[in-house]
Structure 1
Amino acid sequence: MGIRLGNIFILLALFGTFIVSGSCALEPKIDKRLSKTLERVGYANILVSMKDGTRDILNELAGKSFSSRTERSQALYNALTARATHSQSHTLNWLEEPAILKSFNYGKFYSLWITNQIAIEFASRELIETLALMNEISRIQEDEIEELVHPVDSHSTNAESIQVVNQWGVTEIRAPQVWASDTRGAGITIASIDTGVRPTHVILSANYVNDTHSWYDPYDESEVAHDRNGHGTHTVGTVLGRNGFGVAPEAKWIACKGLSDTGSGTTTNLIRCGQFLVCPTTFNGTDPDCSKTPHVVCNSWGGASGRTVYDEMIEAWHVAGIIPVVSAGNSGPRCSSVGTPGDRDVISVGSTTSDNTRSSFSSVGPTSFNTMKPDVSAPGSTIMSADHRFDNTYSIKSGTSMAAPHVVGAVALLLSKNPDLTYVQIKHLLQSYADRDLDPEGYNCDFISDNAFPNHHLGYGRINIGRSMAALN
């Protein structure tokens, strides 16, 4: 691989780094995609995984009982941060050495405790090859770029043209039927990992937690919540917007800006958002408070399918009692088009129309892991919700990004009725009582027709929160 082994060994020995013998250890550790990037440009933003990992901690805590959600989140935070400190200290100290920085000339680096990784910006090929020789490191991969699940169409409308009525998707999943029993999401906090949220919008401002631990921006560490793109504002409006726009209008929200203003985001910053949810911090990442862990998270972003890079983050959410809901993607109707993380252990959501069919764009399974996704579907075509430009404007968008917030709102309603429900129980309630009277299109994926349920096009069907809630009574 063209490494300067003599110079590297001198640097390693100088700073007491433990190494393995020979260069044969490089190949298994350096991801193939990263190797191709290094061959092409000579440097990359990287994620360095520590050999200790986190799965033993997650498995242990998943089987334990706790007296409260706060105690559970705190135990998880304490165990994962202690593991990261122990595993990463040697490598982090090495990276902080002026002589090492001068030799390899890399950028900023961050400790990620939720996945036991170190993120390094502008890492040279020589630095990466040196890190690969360290015993404590198990894998080095490229810090990838994810995209929001871009709406397939979008246009704005003036406030004067809006009538205060329940939006069609809210009505379609029978949310008003649940409201009639005085269940509107009170006591539940939802989290958004997206482009941000406009906190002063008329249908969102009353629901914002709006304390010192309700907003985090890993890109700029901005102190005030904002959204210069509009995607995040729209999705949160569908989750809990007042005046008939949201499914759970008395739930509260917090947000992390996992995606930049252009709608793209690094794996590193999405993971930093993931750990913010487990134990929320102030805007600059300090003073973690595990009493503020949200109940459910809305994710309308993703990328290429078949990846496991977010698995430990998602598993940590499960342990903390955070229900992960993810858009399936807008790459349908071809089979096997559901992207990551929608193809992992999450509630993956497809999109339906007001005409009682699957939205043409909605991504379809099976996944690369040979699992059935999406899990359920929800209204996602021509959805009106809050617009980010002014406090009283709205926009209409279509996409599975618009479908997933309906499911997040439904989860908030279920938890408002029974806060002790688990991920498995919630998923069962949504799937078992979903509507299946949708019009089939004659598609077939993995030898399963779209008129047989469950299927790879609509999952178990379109959610019906009225029926799911009735099953609790």
Structure 2
Amino acid sequence: EQQAPVPSWGLARISSRARPGNYSRQPFTYPASAGQGVAIYIFDTGINIAHKDFNGRSEHGTATCTPRCHPTADIDGHGTHVAGTACGTKFGVAKRARCISVKALDDGGQSRTEELLKGIEWIVNRVQRRPNERAVVNMSITTGDDKALDGAILTMAYEFGVVVVVAGGNGGMSACFKSPAKIGHFGTPVITVGASDEVDALTMFSNYGPCVSILAPGTNIISAAGNSTTGSVFMTGTSMSTPHVSGAAALLLSDNPKLTPMEVKERLIDFATPDIVSDAVYETPNKLLFVGQG
């Protein structure tokens, strides 16, 4: 299938090997299955499920930040934007996947380890009850060194077959100092995402280094707004890069449901466009996400 014109330069970029001269003329090409049969868990500030871009394909799963936060509404807007990039009809990569809200961040975007761990536990329980549905977890979150969180994520990936995609973080430093970004290094099934910009440079803010697995567009990304049913908003960060990769993982799993998380990671990296991003320094893998036929 093809989407043209694209609302976001990110969709255009991941659909082309070379950088398009004009993003608005580059269609987004994706398989007809479009992520059908895959659940993308949005581990974030909530999802505004009434937004038209989800077309009924998003739902409230759980909120582990209560009573500190609203149990369903996305007051912050971050989670809705991330979900729109993963599975929105217009703004999203996987246009037929389901997006399930795991509200583990409060209304100011803050998290506590025990609430994050509860969210992971909820996902694992749900995944075990749904053997025919493949699962991707999008974690556009970064914290300090958190061994309990890292361990729970690795268990979810290794033991329960969940593809976990995490943000590299926005500190302009090595991702190897941050959780869960640090567990995206070679040899684990976890995918850590760094941010590229409109001219194929690693952004100034993106964390970098060997714990990053892959790069994806992360500046001035337009997606669904948290505070209206039709609105859109621009956001920047590795949080925006991450759902491009989660959506791409859902596209792969929709057509190849038997793939393990490690195989999904390897395929995404193998299929990525190599050596096109400038400033990918300090052992950052020079691999730009690619979804498409070009």
TM-score class, shorter-chain normalisation, is: 0.7 to 0.9
Matching residue of 2:23: none
Structure possessing the higher radius of gyration over alpha carbons = 1
Structure 1 unaligned spans of 5+: 1-162, 281-287, 366-371, 446-454
Provide the residue aligned with 1:169 in structure 2.
10
Instruction: Find the partner of 1:308 among 147, 159, 183.
Output: 147
Letter in 2 for 1:275: E
1:354 aligns with 2:198: yes
Unpaired stretches in structure 2, ≥5 consecutive residues: 17-26
Structure possessing the higher relative contact order (Cα contacts under 8 Å, 6 or more residues apart): 2
> What is the correspondence of 1:19-98 to structure 2 with a 5 Å cutoff?
none
The aligned residue for residue 218 of structure 1 is 64
Partner of 2:270: 432
Residue identity matched to 1:168: W
Paired letter, 1:466? G
Of the three residues 272, 287, 293, the one matched with 1:461 is 287
Q: CA deviation at 1:460?
A: 4.0
AA in 1 matched with 2:62: Y
1:108-127 alignment runs, 5 A limit = none
Shift of 1:309: 1.8
85, 92, 96: which one pairs with 1:250? 96
Q: Which string of whole-angstrom CA distances, capped at 9 and with x for unpartnered residues, describes residues 362-415 of structure 1?
A: 0012xxxxxx22100000010000111111111101100000000000000000
**Does residue 197 in structure 1 map to residue 47 in structure 2?**
yes
Matched, 1:329 2:169: yes
The one-letter code matched in structure 2 to 1:430 is L
Contact 2:201 2:277 survives alignment (8 Å): yes
Question: What is the Cα deviation at residue 438 of structure 1?
Answer: 2.4
**Cα distance, 1:426 vs structure 2:** 0.9
Q: Give the Å deviation of 1:444.
A: 4.4
Aligned-pair Cα RMSD in Å = 2.5
Deviations 1:150-183 (A, max 9, x none): xxxxxxxxxxxxx97342111211196652x413
Shift of 1:440: 2.4
CA distance in 2, matches of 1:338, 1:466: 33
In structure 2, C-alpha distance between the alignment counterparts of 1:341 and 1:218, rounded to whole Å:
18
Cα displacement (A) at 1:436: 2.4
Segments of 4+ in structure 1 off by > 4 A?
A: 175-178, 221-224, 335-338
| Deviation of the 1:437 alpha carbon | 4.2
Which of 267, 284, 292 is equivalent to 2:113? 267
SS in 1 for 2:287: coil
User: Residues 199 and 225 of structure 1 are in contact (CA less than 8 Å); yes or no, is this contact kept in structure 2?
Assistant: no
Amino acid in structure 1 at the alignment position of 2:237: G
Q: 1:383 aligns with which of 216, 221, 236?
A: 221
DSSP 3-state at the match of 2:200: coil
CA contact (8 A) 2:116 2:149 kept: no
In structure 1, C-alpha distance between the alignment counterparts of 2:83 and 2:213, rounded to whole Å: 21
Structure 1 residue 336 displacement after superposition: 5.5
Secondary structure of 1:350's partner? strand
Counterpart AA for 1:225: T
For normalisation by structure 2, the TM-score amounts to 0.85
- Paired residues of 1:338 and 1:374 also in contact (CA < 8 A): no
Q: Call closer, same or farther: CA 1:270–1:357 in 2, change over 3 Å.
A: same
Measured in 1, the distance between the counterparts of 2:203 and 2:177 equals 14
Paired with 1:195 and 1:373, the residues of 2 have a C-alpha distance of 25
Aligned counterparts of 1:174 and 1:428: Cα–Cα separation in 2 = 19
More helix by share: 1
Q: CA deviation at 1:226?
A: 1.7
The superposition leaves residues 288-338 of structure 1 with CA deviations (integer Å, 9 ceiling, x where unpaired) of: 972277610000112124x42223311331211111100000011x44665
- Provide the rounded CA distance (Å) in 2 between the counterparts of 1:263 and 1:235: 13
For 1:410, what is the secondary structure of its paired residue?
helix
User: In percent, how many aligned pairs have the same letter?
Assistant: 30
- Shift in alpha-carbon separation, 1:426–1:260, aligned structure 2, 3 A: same
AA aligned to 2:121 is: Q
Secondary structure of the residue aligned to 1:351 is strand
For residues 449-470 of structure 1, the C-alpha deviation after alignment (integer angstroms, 9 at most, x for no partner) is xxxxxx32xx241111226xx9
Count, aligned residues: 273
